[in-house]
Amino acid sequence: MDHETLLLIEVGALLLGLSLLGRVASRFGQSPIPLYMTAGLAFGAGGIFPLSASSDFLATGSELGVVLLLLLLGLEYSPQELMGNLKSSARAGIWDAILNALPGAAFALLMGWGPVAALAMAGVTWISSSGVIAKVLRDLGRLGNRETPVILSVLVIEDLAMAFYLPVLSAVVIGASLLQGSITVAVAVGSVCLVLYLAVRHGKKLSRIFTPNHPESLLLGVLGLAMLVAGLAAQVQVSSAVGAFLVGIALSGQVAQNAEKLLRPLRDLFAAIFFVFFGFTTNPADIPSVILPAVILAIVTMSTKVLTGYFAARRAGIGRPGRWRTGLALTPRGEFSIIIAALAVTAGVEPMIAPLAATYMLVTVIVGPLLARLTDTSWFKERMRVLAERAEAKANAHVTESQNAADGTTDNAPVTTS
């Protein structure tokens, strides 16, 4: 059987199976992401039914999935909303780096892997998965929630931070000179600033390039622009997800509305492939040897990520339920964990980083969407109601105590006679 025929058979069977898994997940009111990941494990290297002809297609489809997920997220928001939320979440971004990068670095040092491996593991545990979180927010119908811009701000700050981190890591693992590393970082940061400036200042002019009432040209134009900018961003060591997101931010008005409708089916298709590919690239045989440290690391860093989201949402004036939704939504790690691990292992830093990062990522991507649904349970809502009543009662008691103290002061005041 020739390659093209086998490719059609494999991809067709895979998509049909994903359709059935999606229906099962929908029937039980759950996210299909864990099932898609499990399917990837079954069909990847070392799986039960390894696919041989479609690996390149799945890799490319996975990249398109990230681009489409973040492009459509960007279409939901304006440049003004982005800049406002970035400013308000800057401090949360610093805490995010401290709380989530340090556990990974400390783990590598405790394992005796050395400082270079510690730098790599800091990135593995730091960055949340924009693609997974975008899918979770959409599945749960939270794109219009008050806390969603806070979540997006944290994700954008993390992805922008990669413009500094990835060039530095690349230079360190290959032993590049300080000058070479500095040049790479400067190019990456300059590119990010340029794209941000064009999106914020000239987004309306960009929208005029497209004709909103011509579906075919609009679809091809917006998708082509997003892929072009994403590719250029990746070329200068910036996340392709950031590039696609900023394209979505730059587009506005009827162009953005119509493009979102046209691109939605493509996003759903390639987003499913994106999650399958995560499992596809993980060999199940590597999991048992690292499952315990990966689970421990996941528990620690998912907890610190919840703290990050809770802190960011509180600073933005979000109520207690929204703070928990923010923190729990940020727990999945994803594409950057694999990219960073591959970069370190390829340079000969520490071979165990690869299976550990893959297993760690799988744990967070499977558990994360389930945790995000916790805030929709009746138990959680009842708990929030009880806490709100206690806070209100405490506030009322404080007001009453203050009034009584004021009345007592008035009663005890000396009476003067004329």
Residue 226 in any domain: the answer is: yes
Q: Once rounded to an integer, what is the mean pLDDT over residues 285-295?
A: 88
Of all residues in the chain, what percent carry a pLDDT higher than 90?
20
Q: Which pLDDT score, from 0 to 100, does residue 91 have?
A: 83
Please indicate, yes or no, if residue 90 is contained in any of the structural domains.
yes
- CATH code for the domain in which residue 151 is found: 1.20.1530.20
pLDDT category of residue 136 using cuts at 50, 70 and 90: confident
Instruction: Tell me which residue range forms the domain holding 189.
Output: 70-270+285-373
Q: Does residue 59 sit within a domain?
A: no
In-domain check, residue 395: no
Domain membership of residue 20 (yes or no) is: no
Provide the number of structural domains found in the chain: 1
| Closest residue by Cα to residue 308 from 158, 205, 165, 159 | 158
Which tokens sit at 277? 């590919």
For residues 82, 88, 89, 94, the Cα torsion angle rounded to the nearest 10 degrees is 130
295 within 8 A of 87, measured Cβ to Cβ: no
Please give the residue that has the higher pLDDT: either 20 or 276.
Answer: 20
Determine the distance from the C-alpha atom of residue 259 to the mean position of all C-alpha atoms in its chain, rounded to a whole number: 22
Domain for residue 161, yes or no? yes
In a domain, 414, yes or no: no
The pair of three-digit structure tokens given for residue 200, joined into one six-digit string:
């914020």
Q: What is the pTM of this model?
A: 0.70
Q: What is the pLDDT of residues 371-381, one digit of tens each?
A: 998 888 888 88
In a domain, 34, yes or no: no
Q: What is the pLDDT of residues 191-243, one digit of tens each?
A: 667 767 776 777 777 788 888 889 999 999 999 999 998 888 777 766 677 77
